[in-house]
Structure 1
Amino acid sequence: MTTSHTQFDIAVIGGGIIGSAIAYFLLREDPALSVCVIEPDPSYEFASALRSSGGCRVQFTGKENIAMSLYSLDFIRNFETTMAIGDRPAPVDWVEGGYLFVVPPEHTRQLEINARFQQAESCTLDLLSPSELKDRFPAMYVDDLGAGVHTPQDGWCDPYGLLWGFRRKAVSLGATYIADRVVAANHDATAAKSVILDGGNVISATSFVNATGAWSGDVARLFDMTLPISPVRRFEHYFTPGSHVGHLPYVKDTARLAFRSEGQGYSGGLVDGTVPRGYNFEVDHNYFENVVWPAVAHRFPAFEAAKCHRTWSGLYEVNELDGNPVIGAWNSRLPNLYTVAGFSGHGMMHAPAAARGIAELIIHGQFNTIDLTRLGYERIENNQPYPELGIL
């Protein structure tokens, strides 16, 4: 086996949507940088974002999450032209289908507080009573609801197009993609020095970024860093109703039911946050009938005769501390090691904003576009959760 030792300014570990977006923003910010992206699965067969529904919404309670959503929504709307290479566009099939959060009466006050805060942060929304929900969405059962919030400018896109748009653009700007897996890391008391790949090659860099999603906790341990991020299996289903329902926004409730229109049918699921942690991609083909169908048929009776056509699995990268991402440097130990992970299901939607933020932090030493300081690693070290109170 022949080995090599290569030096880069920045080594991004993980070449999914977030890692590829980071490479793009780094090189857009400073074209003179040498940037490599280390990705063990160039087919992206198990990439979490490609197994998601591609949603992007502003209904959060954290100021940073709202700001990242507003930035990312605008970025995704213009993605096709921004990421074009020559006369080749980068389509992502953006659908401005809206989001709808619904809650029972006991959660109405919190939803109203959230809505007022979101409006103060420049979000467009409608706070709806049960009767108003029924008028707007006639197929919905509303008798057990207290309120809903509809954000009509939210929507969803094609994650596959988003990933490859970022990757192709990053490569066109000079990023080097390395198809291999990081299996070890070298560091001293104050800085990360290099990573060793499964094939034996060594990559040295001035800065390293851990953008490995559900695998980020394992990668962090290679640097002797504790990162409470776990892989959690989730299912996505494509199904059709027994009678006409019509177009629906991305509907979410407090039981974590979440689904939206998709072509002639609907796509979504219901996340069980109590499942054992681990890299499990096995599909439970009874999950829709046992868990999802009762919930969706209760909310929309036309789904009493729903038919599930396909079920697939993916992973959430869950931050066990507070559900929010970790975006920043390990300032107290290895300040040239940066983390962008732990989005707990919101990685695709926040990728443009988070990637731009980490690029600014690496190049300029500070966040310029959106202040993401509160999402830094310090809260992990201090065991100080910064929770998101919106429906996850």
Structure 2
Amino acid sequence: MPTHPHLFDVAIIGGGIIGSATAYYLMQQDPQLSVCVIEPDPGYELASALRSSGGCRVQFTGAENIAMSLYSIDFIKNFEHTMATATHPAPVDWVEGGYLFVVPPQDTANLERNARFQQSQGCTLDLLSPAELKDRFPAMYVDDLGAGVHTPHDGWCDPYGLLWGFRRKAIELGVQYIAERVVAADHDAVQAKSVTLGNGQIIRATSFVNATGAWSGDVAKLFNMSLPIVPVRRFEHYFTPGSHVGHLPYVKDTARLAFRSEGQGYSGGLVDGNVPRGYHFEVDHKNFEEVVWPAVAHRFPAFEAARCHRSWAGLYEVNELDGNPVIGAWNARLPNLYTVAGFSGHGMMHAPAAGRGIAELIIHGRFQSIDLSRLGYERVEQNAPYPEQGIL
């Protein structure tokens, strides 16, 4: 614990799943650190991760994203055994339900190329023809498909359990959580010095981490940093079919339809990347009927008589540059200001690897486990998008 309540080695702004994972890894790697996490929403009412579907997949094309997935999925699978505290278990209800990407004929060559690269990176997958898709998933309409890739060891978990597991473990290791909002930042030409909270308290630290997700662009502005990360509303629905479909993996297509089995029904939606940016949480109850239902019913005709039981809204933290996270320090200006944000829907699944990476960067000055340098802020300054083709 810090000797002075306002002075820390590391101050993490944002205590959601990314910020809490970062706090955990900092303490795991250096138990002598004094670390605080500043989180204005301690009940996580608006947290993006808790409004997500909890999916975890290896079907990316960037080596860094694949490596983060492989590590994070293995970590999540063992979470309840390694992250329990003295007073709380750490269940995350991992389901190895698999992922299935399906594409039309014109995208088959690209999917096959991606699959070969994923295999070269250690991923287990099955490349399936339309006939093989039909054989494996009889309820699926495949006449307009060219191919699919099934990754059987992917799956999903309970985001609530994952977030609280990281938070409780971080607290057990000595992290201090502060239920406040950062409203201002003080810095000179070469160093971030302190942040001011809504209650007037000033937090000084040697290093600062911006892990505020959909709010990270606004927090960056407090340090005069330009970060192209914006909030984008997305909808999730829980629905049931009119006739038997059976257990499905997490199904995704090029139109950004994404849904999976959930208990006796199914959970998912269709992401519209063109919606207005902003902190919008209102639910459009026509979204399922007008957007999601036609897409689901086309791919699985049994959903012609689907019934939507519940809908909710959450935020994607979209990196407008390339849809990938910024993970690194602002080396050209304030090198003690670190960013780990902009995951564009992949934050929960990559939280363990990203948190570990930022902790390594702060403690050791470089990435040690997975080299995430290509995801640094430098590419934003250079307007050089990270070339990821696996975001559907």
Please state which band the TM-score falls in when normalised by the shorter chain: over 0.9
The structural deviation recorded for 1:5 is 7.0
Matching residue's letter, 1:192? A
Please report how far the alpha carbon of residue 143 of structure 1 lies from its aligned counterpart in structure 2 after TM superposition: 0.1
Trace 1:225-374 onto structure 2 (pairs within 5 A): 225-374=225-374
Structure 1 counterpart of 2:384: 384
- Cα separation, 2, equivalents of 1:180 and 1:88: 25
Q: Number of aligned pairs?
A: 389
Q: After the TM superposition, which residues 63-78 of structure 1 pair with which residues of structure 2 at under 5 Å, given as runs?
A: 63-78=63-78
The amino acid of 2:330's aligned partner reads W
Q: Distance in 1 between matches of 2:87 and 2:348?
A: 26
Secondary structure at the aligned position of 1:101 is classed as: strand
| CA distance in 2 between partners of 1:366 and 1:182 (Å) | 27
Q: What amino acid is aligned across from residue 273 of structure 2 in structure 1?
A: G
| SS across alignment from 1:177 | strand
Q: Taking structure 1 as the reference length, what is the TM-score of the superposition?
A: 0.98
Could you list the per-position Cα deviations for residues 204-240 of structure 1 after superposition, in whole angstroms to 9, with x for gaps in the alignment? 0000000000000000000000000010000000000
Q: Distance in 2 between matches of 1:387 and 1:216?
A: 22
Aligned-partner residue type, residue 334 of structure 1? L
Shift of 1:391: 3.3
Aligned to 1:97: 97
Distance 1:255 1:291 in 2: 11
Contact 1:318 1:344 in 2 (8 A): yes
Aligned amino acid, residue 301 of structure 1: P
| TM-score under structure 2 length normalisation | 0.98
Q: Distance in 2 between matches of 1:58 and 1:26?
A: 25
Instruction: State the identity %.
Output: 83
Q: CA offset at residue 86 of structure 1?
A: 2.8
* 1:135 aligned onto 2:135: yes
Question: Which amino acid is 2:159 matched to?
Answer: P
Contact kept? 1:142, 1:299, Cα under 8 Å: yes
Partners of 2:235 and 2:324 in 1: how far apart? 21
| Cα-Cα RMSD | 0.8
Structure 2 segments unaligned to the other structure (5+ residues):
none
Q: 1:87 deviation in Å?
A: 6.7
Conserved? CA contact 1:5–1:204, under 8 Å? no
CA distance in 2, matches of 1:293, 1:206: 51
Asked if the contact 1:212–1:219 (Cα under 8 Å) also holds between the matched residues in 2, the reply is: yes
Cα-to-partner distance string for 1:95-154 (whole Å, 9 max, x where unaligned) = 000000000000000000000000000000000000000000000000000000000000
Question: Which stretches of structure 1, 4 residues or more, deviate above 4 A after TM superposition?
Answer: none
Q: Does 1:187 align with 2:187?
A: yes
Q: Which whole-Å deviations, capped at 9, do the CAs of 1:148-201 have from their partners, x for residues lacking one? A: 000000000000000000000000000000000000000000000000001110
Q: Distance in 1 between matches of 2:312 and 2:84?
A: 31
Question: Residue 6 of structure 2 aligns to a residue in which SS?
Answer: strand
Q: d(CA) in 1 for partners of 2:5 and 2:53? A: 39
* Match of residue 209 from structure 1: 209
**Using the alignment, how far apart are the partners of 2:155 and 2:371 within structure 1?**
24
Structure 1, unaligned runs of 5 or more: none
> Are the equivalent residues in 2 in contact too, given 1:234–1:271 (CA < 8 A)?
yes
State the alpha-carbon separation in 1 of the partners of residues 281 and 87 from structure 2: 38
| AA partner of residue 135 (structure 1) | D
Secondary structure at the aligned position of 1:153 is classed as: coil
Aligned partners of 2:384, 2:121: CA distance in 1, in Å? 24
Cα distance in 2 for residues equivalent to 1:211 and 1:169:
18
Query: Residues 156-167 of structure 1: matches in 2 within 5 Å?
Result: 156-167=156-167
Corresponding residue SS for 1:318: strand
**CA–CA distance in structure 2, aligned partners of residues 215 and 179 of structure 1:** 16
